[in-house]
Amino acid sequence: MSEVIQTEGNRRNSNDRRNSDSRRLSDIVDEDEIDLKELFIALMGYKYKIALLVIFITSCTFVYVLSIPNSYKSSVILSPQNEQTNISGGLSSLASLAGVNLGSGGSSDPSVMMTTLLKDYNFNEMLIKKYNLTEKIENQENLVFALSIDFIYKFFNSNEKKKDERSYEEKIFNTINKLRDTLSISSDKDTNLITLSAELNDRVLAKDIVDIYLEEIIQKIKMQDMKEIDKQIKYYNKELSSTFDVSLKEQLSKSLSALMQKRVFSQANDYYLVSKIVDSRVAYIKEKTKPKRALILIVSFVSSIILGIFLAFFIEFIKREPKNLEK
């Protein structure tokens, strides 16, 4: 009998614990619901301040995007010429003894050579001095603005006299970095077409820079290969005059003839190792690449709303914290 009474008491105690736990849980849920309601009410109390913050940030962003000129891209598409066969015949081992390279006169991939020259500091410095690119890039003309509003840009870029105080090395260094961001070379693996492009605020200058770099890069590669061919011709003539072997003379004569043909043909081509498929042009005024003004405004608007809500919650939390400590 006592065991039955004890079991019944244990059941009552467990039921009481369950009831108390459920009451505590319901109280916590009720408290959370009250807190959420209070936070929403507090947030509504800050709605005008949040609206003012959103208007202020969005307006500043709007002024900013109006101050940015459009960027335009100009490109030229090139096709590599057919790779030339090796003209050395069986003389490569003999020529290597004299330190002469009897290859095809350079790398077989024009895009690799063009990219290498584009990254060469000395080559860029030479072009900057030759074409006065520092002055042209820092004082770009033919700028296009949204709604034709340019006074904001002129206001923030009116005082630029401090640039004249820079040293020559600093000017060259900054211009080279700017050109590396401006110019790009890409190669399509499927078609092997090479694209040389430049992106600037001045759409006319973008085309000019593409034409300048294309001409100078091709001339540089051509000059280096012609120098190598001249070395090979000199070596062949020397060997041809000193040897008495008939078969060797025949091979030397054929190789020398091939080198001379290559030299003549390369001088006749406008572009060495490549041919122009699509010429560069000045981009149309509506063909801007950036900025994406609408996207910038949307991101700014949404971010300002989130920032306003966060600040409202943060201020409300600071106000309630002393009251919680007093309790």
| pLDDT attached to residue 297 | 95
**Hey, what's the torsion of the CAs at 195, 200, 202, 204, to 10 degrees?**
-10
DSSP 236-253: HHHHHHH---HHHHHHHH
First and final CA of the chain: distance in angstroms? 50
- Which tokens in the block code for residue 185? 């070379």
| pLDDT attached to residue 81 | 78
pLDDT at residue 13 is higher than 60: no
Percentage of the chain modeled with pLDDT above 70: 74
Asked if residue 240 lies in contact with residue 252, where contact means CB atoms within 8 angstroms, the answer is yes
Percentage of the chain modeled with pLDDT above 90: 37
Mean pLDDT of 266-293: 86
| pLDDT attached to residue 34 | 45
The dihedrals phi and psi of 200, each to the nearest 5 degrees, come to -145, 170
Asked if residue 111 lies in contact with residue 28, where contact means CB atoms within 8 angstroms, the answer is no
Contacts of 175 (CB under 8 A, 6+ apart): 124, 128, 133, 134, 137, 138
Alpha helices (runs of H) in 71-138, residue ranges in sequence order: 92-97, 110-118, 121-131, 133-138
Residue 136 zone, left/alpha/beta (φ > 0; ψ -120 to 50; rest): alpha
| pLDDT attached to residue 274 | 85
pLDDT at residue 60 is higher than 90: yes
Location of structure tokens 């001409």: 215
| pLDDT attached to residue 91 | 45
Which one has a higher pLDDT value, 246 or 17?
246
What pTM value is reported for the model?
A: 0.72
Query: 200-204, 232-236, 279-283: lowest mean pLDDT where?
Result: 232-236
The span from the CA of 213 to the CA of 67, in Å, is 30
Q: What's the chain's average pLDDT?
A: 79
Asked if residue 89 lies in contact with residue 254, where contact means CB atoms within 8 angstroms, the answer is yes
pLDDT at residue 220 is higher than 80: yes
Q: Given pLDDT bands bounded at 50, 70 and 90, which one contains residue 232?
A: confident
Instruction: Give the tens place of pLDDT for each residue, 283-293.
Output: 999 999 999 99
Query: 16-20, 35-39, 250-254: lowest mean pLDDT where?
Result: 16-20
| pLDDT attached to residue 315 | 84
Query: 2-11, 124-133, 248-257, 307-316: lowest mean pLDDT where?
Result: 2-11
| pLDDT attached to residue 319 | 77
